[in-house]
Amino acid sequence: MKRSRRFLPSISLLAAFDAVFRTGSTAAAARELDLSQSAVSRLVQGLEAQLGRPLFVRQRRRLVPTDAARVYAARVSRALDSIQRASMEFIANPGGGSLSLAILPAFGSRWLAPRLGRFSVAHPGITINLATRLRPFSFAMENFDAAIHFGAADWPDAEHMKLFDEHLTACISPALLASHPVADVGDMDGLPLLQIETRPAAWSLWFAAQGGSPPRGGGMLVDQFAPMIQAAMAGLGVALLPHYLAEPELEEGRLAALLRTAVAGSGSYWLAWPASRSTHPPLLAFRAWLAAELGVDGAAVPRRA
């Protein structure tokens, strides 16, 4: 695609506009960019001249962006972030490629991170950059090549590779179990059940698998598994954890498993990626490595529009 210079403002013009938009004044933008205030003003005026439209309206001592400028600023910010990231990755790894991966916090710290050394040994030229995200996002709006996703193969406009199904184990501190023994599902009455926002039906599934139903009432609500594990070890209640997350604490005796373990959960873990990145060499290498680690075929599930 041929690029018109009129629609490709220089980085200096865009950086000045971005700084003024974020700070609300040419003075603050000048301090951030290490330029004079007049230089920043000239840069913004130059961008307005190139685009043929005003970007700001002056109100007292602040520059207020127009509605159109707000939309433009969001896109400019993403573009500048992408250029900055690409430059950093090139400096850090000029001979290889990189994979920007969004991960679930617990999955990333407990399952993926301990295994990444093997990937690095097998693919020394590839750098993996990790950032946590709790919920699906638009690949068009964020600079990720792929993401680890829990649930179903339903990430819009993405392809998926299944990693593994989730299985749940109820975990309790040894001290709390000593004071409240559990021999069958009926003995769960009176125990606080720790809840996690992303699995609202998890306790119902677990109790059904034990031949019972959850008691009335509830327990502490958290948004991530890490604080839930800590709360359970502190004796604040029973945590219902993905079994792979619970294994270290169970093996070390910091938590004890209740009744039937590894009950089928409500979803699976997936690698999801936009179709536009399906042939990205670092992603292909990562997919093949994941498939080998997990003993799966690594086939992609057709994408959902």
Question: How many CA within 13 A on the CB side of residue 73?
Answer: 20
CATH class held by domain 5-90 = mainly alpha
294 CB-near residues (< 8 Å, 6+ apart): 163, 164
Burial of 209 (0-12, 13-18, 19+ CB in 10 A): middle
Give 302's pLDDT tier (boundaries 50, 70, 90).
low
| Alpha-carbon span 169 to 165, nearest angstrom | 13
With contact defined as beta carbons under 8 Å apart, do 215 and 204 qualify?
no
Across the range 299-304, mean pLDDT stands at 64
User: What average pLDDT does this structure show over 174-201?
Assistant: 91
Residue labelled with tokens 């069958």:
184
Closest-CA residue to 171 (of 231, 215, 111): 231
Q: What is the pLDDT of residue 88?
A: 73
Cα-Cα-Cα-Cα torsion 259, 261, 267, 273, nearest 10 degrees, comes to 150
pLDDT of 92: 61
Q: Which of 48-52, 107-111, 125-129, 301-305 has the lowest mean pLDDT?
A: 301-305
Predicted confidence (pLDDT) at residue 18 exceeds the cutoff of 70: yes
Extract the tokens encoding 190.
């009176």
pTM: 0.67
Instruction: Tell me which residue of 178, 175, 240 sits closest to 207, measured CA to CA.
Output: 240
d(CA 113, CA 107): 8
Is the Cβ–Cβ distance between 269 and 107 less than 8 Å?
Answer: yes
pLDDT band at 7 (very low <50, low <70, confident <90, very high): confident
Residue 40 near residue 17, CB atoms below 8 Å: no
Distance between CA 162 and CA 181 in Å, rounded?
38
CA distance 164 to 264: 11
Per-residue pLDDT, 2:
67
Q: Locate tokens 């709790």: which residue?
A: 134
Look up residue 114 and give its two tokens: 């301990």
Indicate the pLDDT class of residue 96, thresholds 50, 70 and 90: low
Confidence of residue 262 (pLDDT cuts 50, 70, 90): very high
Task: Specify whether the CB–CB gap between 198 and 176 falls below 8 A.
Answer: no
Residue ranges per structural domain of the chain: 5-90, 97-305
**Residue predicted with more confidence, 112 or 85:** 112
Is the pLDDT at 305 greater than 80, yes or no? Answer: no
CATH classification for the domain delimited by 97-305, as one of 3.40.605.10, 3.40.630.30, 3.60.150.10, 3.40.190.290: 3.40.190.290
The pair of structure tokens assigned to 303 is: 């994408």
Determine the Cα–Cα distance for residues 114 and 108; give it in Å rounded to an integer.
9
- Is 91 a residue whose pLDDT tops 80? no
Rounded CA separation 181/53 (Å):
72
Report whether 125 contacts 96 (CB < 8 A).
yes
Give dist(CA 225, CA 303) in Å, integer.
Answer: 29
pLDDT-wise least confident of 40-44, 95-99, 279-283, 299-303? 299-303
Of 84 and 203, the structure prediction assigns the larger pLDDT to 203
pLDDT above 60: residue 27: yes
Q: Which residues contact 152 (CB under 8 A, 6 or more apart)?
A: 267, 268, 270
Radius of gyration of the chain (CA): 25
